Copies of this chain bind each other. A is one copy, B any other.
Amino acid sequence: MKIGELAKRSGLSAYTIRYYERIGLIPYADRCRSGHRDYDASILVWIQFLDRLKTTGMPIRDMLHYAALRERGPATEAERQALLERHRAKVRAHVDDLIACLDVLEHQDRRLCRPTTEDDRP
């Protein structure tokens, strides 16, 4: 699979895939004899995982940390689990924040929508 095909299948742009390779977020791809990247379908699983980390707000530098541990093999598994668990805890806390904000925005916005010239205090 060449980069255009991977872009279609993964939802990333070819630009982004090359960028991720450059910074070390996805492994250096084998090149075919004309120098083009040639991907195995298994890369999609890794990209999907990265995508979930991204969706849940993990910064690239942390994904790089995870990717580096992964490159070092099974010996780093405990550390990777710990990293993920800390991330999940942050995400759960963020979800709680979002829900709390949503709740306020549902129930308080009438008062807060009034123009500045009126009294906005509770």
Contacts and interface: CB of A to CB of B under 8 A. Distances in A.
Interface of A: 27, 41-42, 45-46, 49, 52-53, 55-56, 70-74, 77, 80-81, 84, 87-88, 91-92, 94-95, 97-99, 101-102, 104-106, 109, 112-117, 119-122
Given A88-B106, A116-B46, A121-B42, A101 B70 contact: no
Copy tally for this chain in the complex stands at: 2
Contacts of A52: 101, 104-105
A61 B46 CA distance: 34
Given A42-B121, A120-B42, A114 B55 contact: no
Contact of A98 (B41, B56, B84, B112): B56
